[in-house]
Structure 1
Amino acid sequence: MRKSAIFFAAAFLASPLGAKDSLGVFSQWGAFRDADVPRCYAISTAQPDRNGKASAGYVSVGNWPRQSIRGQIHFRLSQETPSKQVRVRIGRQTFSLEVSGRNAWAKDRKTDAAIIAALRSADTMSLGMRDKRGKRISDSYALEGAATAIDAATVACSRLK
Structure 2
Amino acid sequence: MNQYDLARGLHILAVIAWMAGLLFLPRLFAYDAEQNAKLEPLKSEMQTLLRTWQGRLMKIIINPASILVFIFGAWLVHLDIQMRGAAFLAQPWMITKLVGVVLLYGWHGYLSAERKRIAAGTSVRTSKFWRMTNEIPFVLAIIMVLSVTTEWSFS
TM-score, normalised by the number of residues in structure 2 = 0.25
Higher strand share: 1
Considering Cα pairs closer than 8 Å and 6+ residues apart, tell me whether 1 or 2 has the greater RCO: 2
TM-score, normalised by the number of residues in structure 1 = 0.24
